[in-house]
Amino acid sequence: GIMNCIHEQLFGTYGGVYQFLFFFTFFTVLRHPTTKFVSTLFTKIFAIQNPRHQTKVGETFWFFMYYSSAWAFSSFALWGKPYVTNSDAMFADYPTTIAPANLAFLMFELGFYASSFAYLFFETRKNHSDFWMMFSHHIASMFLIGVGVYFHYDKMAVVSLWIHDVADIFLEGAKVLSYCRFKTLRYIPFGILVFAWGVPRIYYFPKHVILSSFRIFMTRAAEFPMITFFLGFMSLLWVLDCVWWAMILKMVIKGLATMNLEKDVRSSSDSEAEATPAPAKQQPAKRE
């Protein structure tokens, strides 16, 4: 039955629980030494003088590497799948056994978000005004992944994460360039970010995943346990997407007017002093 299938996928030889524990340990153990190494290396190479930026460049590069690998992973899992463009295909044969690639990817994401949730209380982001927004984001993401696996909504979960991860590649990449003092080059990923965030998250996500799924569940709700909560959390995630996109647009418009994009895109608490490199006896020429 379905419960035996779920138990096998969670606790079998290659079950989700073991994959989750592996990825959680992997991300937790590697994060601190990786961010510290990158911060030290980039500080020396690019002459980063602001102490806060010296720390943040390592954290940001860690997220850039993660989202790049996560989007590549999800693209592999979704390659050739009809439910990428056809929402009806996500539930045509529900419930079915979760595809191994989908399960592995979801545990990859769950392990990362669980690790990031723990680190949220120790990294520089804890002092930002968007701390509780990020707190809510991680909770919602872990809930969606957990429910997606347990109740076999894996197709919807993988598509949703695939939609979201692509924008974060450009967001984190632009921030790395900004901290490394590439004042002109950073405008390229920032410009792409406006569309990579707006089109997939603000338009495609609600249209293809939330609204289309809602119409299906209105006629077959009894077949889908926990679907009300699942759609509710996806809606919450979309609201956060809209808030962040408004912040991005505001930052880009202000940055183009003042030619200054030093501040973190999703953090409004950085002071002007933090946004400007600390004084030094001899400032290296800014990179173009």
Can you read off the two tokens belonging to residue 229? Answer: 């909560």
Rounded mean pLDDT, 3-16 = 57
Residue with tokens 């999703």: 266
CB 234 within 8 A of CB 160: yes
**For position 287, what pLDDT does the model report?**
47
**For position 54, what pLDDT does the model report?**
92
Q: What DSSP character marks residue 127?
A: G
* Omega of the bond leading into 200 within 30 degrees of 0 (cis): no
Least Cα distance to 194 among 267, 238, 248, 242 occurs for 248
What are the tens digits of pLDDT across the range 169-212?
999 999 999 999 898 888 899 889 999 999 999 999 999 999 88
Q: What DSSP character marks residue 201?
A: I
CB 208 within 8 A of CB 83: no
Residue 1 identity (one-letter amino acid): G
Can you read off the two tokens belonging to residue 75? Answer: 């693209």
CB 103 within 8 A of CB 9: yes
Rounded mean pLDDT, 256-271 = 51
What are the tens digits of pLDDT across the range 99-115?
889 999 999 999 999 99
Query: Is the confidence at residue 124, as pLDDT, over 60?
Result: no
Q: Is the dihedral of CA 238, 244, 250, 254 positive or negative?
A: negative
Least Cα distance to 58 among 77, 75, 41 occurs for 41
* Omega of the bond leading into 51 within 30 degrees of 0 (cis): no
**For position 93, what pLDDT does the model report?**
80
Cα–Cα distance between 264 and 280 in angstroms, integer? 23
